[in-house]
Amino acid sequence: MGARRALHFVFKVGDRPRTARFYRQLLGMSVLRHEEFEEGCKASCNGPYDGKWSKTMVGYGPEDNHFVAELTYNYGIGEYRLGNDFLGITLVSSQAVSNAKEMGWPLKEVTAGVFETEAPGGYKFYLEDKEQLKQDPVLKVTLGVSDLRKSISYWSDLLGMKIYEKDEEKQRALLGYADNQCKLELKTVGGAVDHGTAFGRIAFSCAKEELPNIEALMKKENQKILTPLVSLDTPGKATVQVVILADPDGHEICFVGDEAFRDLSKVDPNGDKLLNDVSNRQTFIFILIMDTCRI
């Protein structure tokens, strides 16, 4: 097995301007790239939705060495029902805590020096009130599971993750591909895992040559493959190959060929402007509609 990297988590967002404000002004992340698509993705990157959608990557640095967020916006869908599948992202940033207080954004101290807040749409973030790390400040993504042992076996034995921590009493485990990468925390939710209508997804990269092997292993082990090996095109950018899996609780997992993805994920200096342009246009159209309704 070659080196694998944790890349991003996919969020479905209904209020794109307010969501962008949370990530940029509160968390202090930057827009890495923004892309618009006229129709649904072959690998359901935008969920089980047809029609126009957009993808905005935001983070503290490029995906070469940072774990980032993918904000997926489906035109015409204003909100999603969340389940108990995504339990939060933990990051280190005293600046984010200060930003939240200055903005009047709701904060709740859940343990000493750790604050819980929510992005628009209800996605939870846990902010450690410490100086932001020089390396990636994003520490872990926490997902809910119904059977911890079964999930550990899947992620460790089949997907090759190292087990960093395991706490049977608290029914949690911490896994990852490398010490300096964002970790995956699994927590028992005390019942079935509900994915709501937001359909989150976590992404990793691997050598392109590994993708057929991952697919073959899942077939051999009778595990669920949501999207067999497929090529995805982004207009004007690199074509990447992906395999989309589902773990025992239905968490979506994307493995993408690393070399092409590094090309695709290069930071676009125009990303911030592209997002602002479509958001401003959308706001203008909304105002026109409201004015028309008043006539």
Q: How does pLDDT run along the chain (295 residues), one tens digit per residue? A: 568 999 999 999 999 999 999 999 999 999 999 999 999 998 889 998 888 999 999 999 999 999 999 999 999 999 999 999 999 999 999 999 999 999 999 999 999 999 999 999 999 999 999 998 788 999 999 999 999 999 999 999 999 999 999 999 999 999 999 999 999 999 999 999 999 999 899 999 999 999 999 999 999 999 999 999 999 988 788 899 999 999 999 999 999 999 999 999 999 999 999 999 998 776 434 333 334 444 5
| Helix or strand holding residue 73 (H, E) | strand 68-74
Q: Identify which of 284, 279, 288, 263 has the alpha carbon closest to the alpha carbon of residue 13.
A: 279
**157 SS3 class:** helix
Task: Write the DSSP symbol of residue 132.
Answer: P
Q: Is the CB of residue 6 less than 8 Å from the CB of residue 176?
A: yes
Tokens of 76: 């015409």
pTM of full prediction above 0.85:
yes
